[in-house]
Amino acid sequence: MIEIKNVSKWYGQFQVLTDCTTEVKKGEVVVVCGPSGSGKSTLIKCVNGLEPFQQGDIVVNGTSVGDPRTNLSKLRSHVGMVFQHFELFPHMTITDNLTIAQVKVLGRSREEATDKGLKLLDRVGLKAHAHKHPGQLSGGQQQRVAIARALAMDPICMLFDEPTSALDPEMINEVLDVMVELAQEGMTMMCVTHEMGFARKVAHRVIFMDQGRIVEDAAKDDFFGKPHSERAQQFLAKIL
Ligand code: ADP
Ligand code: MG
């Protein structure tokens, strides 16, 4: 579903990604971890073309992200992305947040979009909040709306960039529970997260990044058993 092939990227003189190669198969859950500044967000943004890269290529479901002829908006319309900060439209109701892209991008009728949006809102346990504005919800609730909004587009895969790291501790699990459920239903997911409980529960593979490189790309059990690189061992020792 996602093939990352020898991707390198520079911000000016600074090389942020060096020869990154990995893949996420259909139905696979891959967790990306690593120290702050190691390039995790940059790599995941490259996957749906939010950041350009200078070398290598990324192919998502057969579409080359690096090919200048690729319609990136079209690609993004079926790659779900959930960020650290919820990025809901603050001036719109939850229902409108859930429906606007379905109507504007996918051309669904308002009725169909609302129906789908409300079903997904129910699924993340927030049906009663449809009429509210994002500011009236807690961070955890807003993040669940953001996940529902991404799912409303019928994504072929989901990208998460530290979706729980800006949340108060008591709200982390309600978001992780939704992600676990998605994973167990077979959604293809690439998740930047330091929630190792989540990784242990549902990840198939764990990628560890350091200074712009993928230094470890292992099956979950191998990763938690004993990572090869010393850097990953130290990292795990600190967060576990
Ligand atoms: P992570 O998500 O692992 O914390 P990032 O991908 O956000 O890492 O950043 C990787 C490196 O790239 C960091 O050193 C960061 O300062 C740098 N960086 C990120 N965005 C930019 C940018 N727009 N311009 C210049 N440097 C950037
Ligand atoms: Mg980041």
Residue-wise pLDDT tens digits, 182-212: 999 999 999 999 999 999 999 999 999 999 9
Q: Phi and psi (nearest 5°) for 153?
A: -90, 10
Pairing status of strand 2-11 against strand 14-24? antiparallel
16 ligand 1 Cβ < 6 A = yes
- Could you tell which of 36, 42, 84 is best to mutate to test the pocket of ligand 1, judged by most ligand atoms within 8 Å of the CB? 42
Closest CA to 77 of 108, 34, 56: 108
Residues with CB in 5 Å of ion ligand 2: 41
Q: Which residues of the chain have pLDDT under 70?
A: none
Q: How far apart are CA 171 and CA 145, in angstroms?
A: 13
Closest-CA residue, ligand 1 atom 7, reads 41
Closest CA to 79 of 57, 120, 49: 49
37 ligand 1 Cβ < 6 A = yes
What does the block give as tokens for 108? 């669904």
Closest-CA residue, ligand 1 atom 12, reads 16
**Could you please report the per-residue DSSP string of 66-82?**
S-TTS-HHHHHHTEEEE
Closest-CA residue, ligand 1 atom 15, reads 37
Average pLDDT over the chain, rounded to whole?
95
The structure's pTM equals 0.95
What does the block give as tokens for 56? 């290598």
38 ligand 1 Cβ < 6 A = yes
Q: Which atom of ligand 1 is nearest to the CA of 212?
A: 10
ipTM: 0.97
Write down the pLDDT at residue 226: 82
188 ligand 1 Cβ < 6 A = no
Q: How far apart are CA 35 and CA 215, in angstroms?
A: 12
Cβ count near 173 (within 10 Å) = 16
What does the block give as tokens for 162? 């530290």
